[in-house]
Amino acid sequence: MKKLLRFGIAGGLGFMVDAGVLALLLHITPLGPFIARVIAIALAMAATWIFNRTFTFDRSGHSLAVEGFRYGSVGVTAALVNYGLYSALLLRLPDLQPLAAMVLSTAASTVFSFVGYSRFVFRGD
């Protein structure tokens, strides 16, 4: 349960980075919601890796490069699911606000992320 709670905190941190960067980029740049979200996801992924590595799962026992590659593999896959749902929502429901689409798509990809990180990235081999 402790890991799940800490993962939730990491997810909350990632969500705040994702939402904050998305809102900021939409407000101060001409980037549209699709390009802005790619940047926001990348920054959120970096923030959650640092938190998860330090507080949630501890280090994996692998080199930083191997752990980073594994984290990136799971993270990119989860991000593709997240981004695909986000894009589909915005294209299908044009009146939907980008932040609302982000909330829905992030919730849908959270379970995949936890299983991938806990079983593939940070498990003790």
Check if the beta carbon of residue 39 is closer than 8 Å to that of residue 70.
no
Is residue 1's pLDDT more than 80? no
Q: DSSP characters for 22-79?
A: HHHHHHHSS--HHHHHHHHHHHHHHHHHHHIIIIIS---SS-HHHHHHHHHHHHHHHH
Question: 53-68 burial, b if ≥16 CB within 10 A, otherwise e?
Answer: beebbeebebeeeebb
Q: Which pLDDT does position 124 carry in this prediction?
A: 59
CA 78 to chain centroid, in Å, comes to 7
Check if the beta carbon of residue 105 is closer than 8 Å to that of residue 86.
yes
Q: Which pLDDT does position 44 carry in this prediction?
A: 92
Q: Which pLDDT does position 24 carry in this prediction?
A: 97
Compare 30 and 111 and report the one with higher pLDDT: 30
Q: Which pLDDT does position 13 carry in this prediction?
A: 94
Q: Give percent above pLDDT 70 in the chain.
A: 96
CA gap 13, 9 in Å, rounded: 6
Q: What is the pLDDT of residues 19-73, one digit of tens each?
A: 999 999 999 999 999 999 999 988 998 898 888 888 887 666 777 788 888 888 8
In one-letter notation, the amino acid at residue 125 is D
Is residue 115's pLDDT more than 60? yes
Q: Which pLDDT does position 111 carry in this prediction?
A: 82
Torsion of CA 88, 89, 92, 98, to 10 degrees: -120
Confidence (pTM): 0.71
CA-based R_g, the chain, Å:
15
Is residue 90's pLDDT more than 90? yes
